[in-house]
Structure 1
Amino acid sequence: MNDTRTPTRPEVEAFVADVRARLADLSDDEREELLGGLEADLSDQVADGADVLGDPAAYAAELRAAAGLPERTRTRRRVPLPARPTRASVTDDLDRLRARFFELVESHPWSRQAWAIAEAARPAWWVLRAWIAVTFVDQATGEWEYVTLLPSLGVTLLGPAVLLAAIVVSVLIGLGRLWPGSGPDRPLLPRLALIAANVAAVVVSLGFASAGQHGDIYSGTGYNAGYRAGHHQPGLRVDSVKVRSLFVYDAQGNPVEGAQIFRGNGDPLAIEPEQAAIGRRENRKVGCGWFNGTTQLFNVFPLAQREQRRGTCLEEPGPDDGAITEAEPPFAVVPPVTSPVPPAVVPPVPSAGPTAVVTPKPQPKPQPRP
C-alpha cells in the first residue's frame, strides 16, 4: 500500500520544536495531547499553500487556552555558580600557566634568547628584591629621607647589616635552599607566597621610580605631604619648584648687584650649590656665589654662572668648563614702586618773623678844649 502522507517540511519541524519548547512546563502527557499529529497536519496545510506558520509563542498560548491550561509561569534561569577552587585545582592552574609560558618562550627564537638572558640575570633580581624590601621598610618607618643605595633604618650601620642579611635570605630562596620555590611539585602555599612577594617587589620598585621621575611620593612609604609640597626638601623653593637664582630691583626699578638676602630671624636665605645648577652635559650651567674672603656665599644675588659639566662652583673647573660670567637679568629695568608706608609728617617750625637790624647812630667826636 502506498503512503499518501505529506513529508514533514523543515520549516514545520522548526515551528513545532519552538512550540514544544514553550510548553516545556507541562507534563509529557499534556504536551503530547496538544502536539500529537501537529507536524503532519501543518505539513499538509503548508503543502496546500496555507499560511499557517505564525508566531510560535502565540500559537503555544492558543493551544493552552483551548485546552484550559494556565499560562506558562516564568522561571528564573539559575546560573550555575563556579566551582569552589581547591588546592589541587589551583596547583593544576599554576602548572598549566607555567607550561603555557614555556611554550610561548620556545615558540620564537627571540623569546628563547630573552629568556636565556633573564635566567642569567636571576641572581641580580634576588639582590634587587632584598634591597627593595629593606628600602620599603626604611621609607615606611621613621622620618622621611631620600631613597639611597644603603638604607639607614635610622641607626648607624643597622641598614647595611639588615640589607646584607636580606640579600643572603633572598639568594637562598632563589636557589631553593630556604624556600620550596615556585616550580612544579612544590607545596601550593609557598608557591603563592613567593609569587606574591615578587609581584609586590615589582610594584614597590615602580613606585620608587615614579617618585624619582615626577618628584612625587609613593603612597604608603612614610613620605609626608610636606615633602610633596617641597616644605622639607633642601634648598630654596617656590611652589615646590627649585629657585636657582634671584634678581633684585630697587624702588626705582633698577637691578641691584650683590643684594644680600636674609630671613626674618637673621638666617641667610641661601640656595644650595647643587640646586643652582641647570642643564645637562655641555649645556649645564652652575651658579657661583659671591665671596666673603675665600668663602662663597649663596645668599647674595644674582649668582654668577659658569658652564660646568659636573659638580658645583665650589669645585675647581675642569679643562672643558667655561669661565665665570655675570647672569643676565630678565628685565633691564622694571616699573618704579612706592612704599605702602606713608611718609612721616614733619611739623613745620614756627617762624619768628623778620628780625630788625638796629644800626647804631654815629657819636660825635669830642672837641678838644681850648
Structure 2
Amino acid sequence: MNDPTHTAHRPEVEAFVAAVSGHLADLSEEEREELLGGLAADLADQVADGADLGDPERYAAELRAAAGLPEAPGRRPRRAPRPTLPTAAELEETLDGLREDLSQLVSSHRAAEEAWRVLLPLRPAWWVLRAWAVVTLLDQLAGPPELVTLIPSFNGPLIGQVLLAAAVVASVLLGQGRLRLHGGPGSPLRERLGLLAINVGALVALLIVASNLPSAATLHSSYYGTSFEDGYAMGAEDRSTGLRLDGAPVRNLFAYDSAGQPLDGVQLYDADGRPLAIAAKTTASGYGAERTVGCGWRNGSSQLFHVFPLFQREQRRGTCRDEDRESGPLSTPVAPFAQVPPVTSPAAEAEVPTEAPAPIAPEPEPGQE
C-alpha cells in the first residue's frame, strides 16, 4: 500500500501532479479527484525506482483518454514535421558520398577492381546502347506492338535509321562531355543531376525493351510456324523461284472463263502434273503497316499456292505461313478486271458444218426450150 508521506520528501512529484492538475482545469472537481486520487503516491514509488516522470501535458491527455473524457479545449494535436527538400549542398554531398563509397567498394575487392578496369574502356559501347534503347522504346510506344529489331522502323522508310543515327551521335557527344553535362565532382549540380537522369532513364528503357524481346521458341513459331506440314511445304516451295513474268515474281493470278467472267478456286498444273505455284515469300507487297501477303487455299492444315486467286492479309513480317497474332483478317483480292472479252475455242470452230454450194443447173440443149 502506498504511503502518502513519501510525497512530502519529493517536491518534483508534487510539482508534476500540480502541472497535471493544471491541464485538467476544465474538468469538474469530482472528475479531477477521481483522476488524481492516489496519483502522487504512485508517482513517488515510480521515482524511487528510477522512473522518469515525463511530460505532464501528455500524462494528463493519457488520463483523459483512459477515463473516456474529451480532450482539453483549444488543444491542437501535434503535427508531424513537414519533410523538407534537401539543399543543393546536401545533394552534392550525397552524390560525392555515393561516388566515394563505390570507389571504396571496388578497390576493396580485387575481382571487382579487375572487372572495373575491363568495363572502363567499354564506355563507348554503353553510349551506343543507351541511344538504341531509348529510340527502340519510342518505336514501341509510337505504333502497334511489334518484335524488337536492330533498326527501329517507326512505320516508315528511313525514319528509324535517321533517328537512331542522331541519337547515337548525341549519346557519344554526351559521353565525351561535349554537351555541357558532366558528372564528376566539382561540376554544377544541375549538370550532374541531368546526366544521372539520362543514364537512369536509358537503363529503364533498356529493361523495358529487354522484357519485350521474344524467346527462341517465339521466334521459331513466328518465322517458321509450328506445323510440320506447313514447314515441309514451305521448304519444298522455297527451293524453287515460283512463277515469274519477264523475270519478275508473280504475286497472284486471276483466271477468267470463256465468257470473260472471273473464276474462283482455279487449280493450275503443267503437262507433267506439277502444280504451278507461286512462292509464298514473293506474294508480299508494301512496307510496314501497309504490307500485305498472299495466303493459300487450304487442304487440311497445308496451304496451297497453286490455287487462285490467293487471299490477302496485312502482316508486317514473314509470310502467311507464319503465326502472327498482329496480322489482319483475310480478305479477297480485287481482280484487275471485272470482266474480260469473251473468247471462242478453235476446236469448236472446226466442228461447225459448212453449207454445200448450190448445184448448177445444166444449160438446156437447143430445141428443148
TM band (smaller chain): 0.3 to 0.5
Normalized per residue, the structure richer in helix is 2
Relative contact order, CA 8 A, sep 6+: which one is greater? 2
